Amino acid sequence: MVGGRLRKLAVNILEGKLQEVWPRHEPPAVEGIALHEAQADEWGETLYVTHADPQGRQCLLTAVDAETGKRLWQRSLGLWPATEPLELGNLGAVVVDRCGRACRLTSQSLSPPQARGIVSELLLLEPSAHDVSGDSQSGGIRLLAGSDALYLYHTNEQGNVVRVRPLAGEESAWCEIRFPAPLHGQPGVMGEHLVAACEDGYLYRRRLDGQPLGVANEQPFQWELPSQIKQAPSHVVGLADASVLLADAGVRLRVLRLEEVDGVQEWATHASLILPAAMRGLPVVQDSQIYLADAQQRLHIMDGGLRASRQVQLSGRVTAGPVLRGEHVLVVLDQKRLAAVSAHAEEGGVVWETKSEWVSGRIWGLPPVRDGVLVVSDDHKLLSISLEDGSLVGSQRLPTRSFAATAAVPIGADQVAQPLADGTLVVMKLPGKEALASRDAAPAAEDAAVEGEGHVP
């Protein structure tokens, strides 16, 4: 492996020189930086190469046919996050990697730091693997949230077959759900059903357990004429009361409800709205409120009937979010700043906004919150930011040359696990936790002193 390419050479005895057998005119099966000497099976038919990708962002294990030079398979080593970490309260958090493994991170599953400061040791995950079939590489592993459960899903290369299973229970079987046409965006969970907008212009409902729907006379909803379907995806978000939110073409929102009319199950439009600009990201639905951002740097807050309660002008382009953290709606602006808006106030704009100079590179993912502190990951460090006022509580550099791959994961009372781009985790103290505690205690001490001075026995 020379020059970042795996090659097979043979000696031409007649001409007395080396000749390339493969890859010759084809792309090489392995590119990047070899991490150690390649190995072969006992028959010499398959080569196994451990290497970093050309950008040095991840470590890979690749199997290559020794005769033809064709790649047989390739797997990422360590943890290569496919989604944002999902917090489960006292149960820790779950990180799903692109091979389909669900890795549960808790203070018990990660070795506690021996020192009080930063842990310099990088911990290589050894999760219980639940690999999916090779076709998951085309669709990618993703998370779906239902009303009372979470699901993993991926699609086949054609996009018309969805494999789904509950996140809880590593031995849960994957259910295969077929649709008449490829999906045109992310499906949504409505009760025990998966609802998806497909490229034939229709909305379909299927059971999550793969069983027949059990309704012979349900009519699919035509959400768009096939000739009018835009390139922008159409996403479905499950709502309560047998209804879904359909966000299509990037600018149109519709609330659809499944009703029975003359013995026929059909979808009815209960509310519709055209946004002034294209959406950024996915809508967030919580407590009958809908939150979404658009391309004109605005945050929209509306009720379940798509009646706008507030539009908040932001100071930059929304690159992540919105997401609810406590009583605030957070968005990431221009990959460098956080902005917070009150989630429930009837009026008002941005409550606070952080400074871009605090961030090295960019903000990764959506920051989790622990005890009133937002844990923000940038390229090279962790920052602790007060959820109440957006002030910088503390920061600490990551003890590694690699950089963050996604948001950090709070574990225990004062520790965080940071997934890194090289497939490892670093465990460290939550920076600035002591400073925040002393700052919160200061007003209480002052109040006590005032009461003491004014007390008359």
Q: What is the pLDDT of residue 434?
A: 63
| Structural domain for 33, as ranges | 8-76
Asked if residues 402 and 424 have their Cβ atoms less than 8 Å apart, the reply is yes
- pLDDT tens string 248-268: 878 899 999 988 887 788 888
Q: What is the mean pLDDT of residues 367-371?
A: 89
- 3-class secondary-structure state, position 46: strand
Q: What is the pLDDT of residue 108?
A: 62
Taking the C-alpha atoms of residue 25 and residue 41, their distance in angstroms, rounded to an integer, is: 26
Give the pairing of strands 193-197 and 202-207.
antiparallel
Q: What is the pLDDT of residue 435?
A: 57
Residue type (1 letter), 246 = L
**Percent helix / strand / coil, the chain, rounded to 5:** 10, 45, 45
Q: What is the pLDDT of residue 109?
A: 59
Q: What is the mean pLDDT of residues 303-321?
A: 89
437 assigned to some structural domain: no
Q: Look up residue 369 and give its two tokens.
A: 């919150």
Same domain, yes or no: 66 and 141: no
Q: Look up residue 386 and give its two tokens.
A: 């007060």
Q: What is the pLDDT of residue 436?
A: 54
Taking the C-alpha atoms of residue 403 and residue 365, their distance in angstroms, rounded to an integer, is: 13
Same domain, yes or no: 14 and 140: no
111 assigned to some structural domain: no
Same domain, yes or no: 143 and 258: yes
Q: What is the pLDDT of residue 340?
A: 93
407 assigned to some structural domain: no
Taking the C-alpha atoms of residue 134 and residue 35, their distance in angstroms, rounded to an integer, is: 25
From 76, 96, 122, the end of a domain falls on: 76
Among 32-46, 89-103, 123-137, 422-436, which stretch is predicted with the lowest mean pLDDT?
A: 123-137
pTM: 0.74
Residues 6+ apart with CB under 8 A from 14: none
Q: Please name which of 153, 191, 194, 196 lies closest in space to residue 172, comparing C-alpha atoms.
A: 153
From 54, 76, 98, the end of a domain falls on: 76
Q: What is the pLDDT of residue 329?
A: 92
- pLDDT tens string 165-183: 887 655 567 889 999 999 9
Between 152 and 374, whose confidence is greater? Answer: 374
Count of domains observed in the chain: 2
254 assigned to some structural domain: yes
Q: For residue 175, what is the domain's CATH number?
A: 2.40.128.630
Asked if residues 119 and 414 have their Cβ atoms less than 8 Å apart, the reply is no
55 assigned to some structural domain: yes
Give the pairing of strands 298-303 and 308-313.
antiparallel
Give the model's confidence band at 390: pLDDT under 50 very low, under 70 low, under 90 confident, else very high: very high
